[in-house]
Structure 1
Amino acid sequence: MDENLEAIMGLIVNGGNAKSLAFEAIRAAKDGDFDLAEKKLKESDKALSQAHNSQTDMLTKEAQGKHAEVTLLSVHSQDHIMNAITFRDLAGEIVDLYRRLNND
């Protein structure tokens, strides 16, 4: 477990950051600041990329035969990153919607 703790925490921290940044993008778009919204979406993507790197590290170890114990924390980390990915995708759509509404 200790070997995977860094990767697990990377998923949780970066997933949380990605979701928060995506939410900031929605707020910026709601306020009509589309440059800031795009900046926040890009920052969210960067956090997701870092989370993906943590996940890839875990998967690589698993493929090498270094099987990790499945714990509540590891399951939580996977749940966290999947929710962040979904929220980021939805945030992009909401920003686009606000942009369209702003142009009318």
Structure 2
Amino acid sequence: MNEVDYQETAFQLILSAGNAKALAFKAINFSKLNKFEEAYKCLEEAEKELETVHSLQFGLIQKEAEGQKNDISVLLIHSQDHFMDSLLAKDMAKEFIQLYERMNKIEKVFGNL
């Protein structure tokens, strides 16, 4: 993998991870509005973006395991930060949606407290 391909992969990682993170926060916002179907749809889309990121990352790891050494660039480190942030955002979004679903059920029974 040459330097241009390496940078392109890092940019693709950043783009897909950023999309996943944005979708996770969109899911939280939908859940605040009790739009749970839309929230879960956003999480599904976030998962697809994260599959792309994981595939790209695995490709880099596989090439290194095959002996293709690359200098670790700030760009690649930045892309990994985005990946980890998006994974955390997706996991937290799941928790928030479940919490809002519980609150919605309680409010249906007891009204707004």
- Structure 2 length-normalised TM: 0.89
Given that residues 12 and 81 in structure 1 are in contact (C-alpha distance below 8 angstroms), is that contact kept between their aligned partners in structure 2? yes
Given that residues 29 and 37 in structure 1 are in contact (C-alpha distance below 8 angstroms), is that contact kept between their aligned partners in structure 2? yes
Alignment gaps of 5+ in structure 2? 107-113
Q: Does 24-33 or 6-15 show the bigger shift?
A: 6-15
What aligned pairs does 1:36-47 form with structure 2 within 5 A after superposition? 36-47=38-49
What aligned pairs does 1:1-104 form with structure 2 within 5 A after superposition? 1-104=3-106
Displacement after TM superposition at 1:60 (Å): 0.7
Displacement after TM superposition at 1:68 (Å): 1.3
How many aligned positions are there?
A: 104
Give a deviation string over 1:4-61, Cα, whole Å, max 9, x none: 1222112100000000000000000000000000000000000000011110110011
* SS at 1:70 equivalent: coil
Alignment gaps of 5+ in structure 1? none
Taking the aligned partners of 1:9 and 1:34, their CA distance within structure 2 comes to: 32
Displacement after TM superposition at 1:3 (Å): 2.6
Give a deviation string over 1:67-87, Cα, whole Å, max 9, x none: 111111011011110111011
RMSD across aligned C-alpha pairs, in angstroms? Answer: 0.8
Greater radius of gyration (CA): 2
- Percent of aligned pairs with the same amino acid: 38
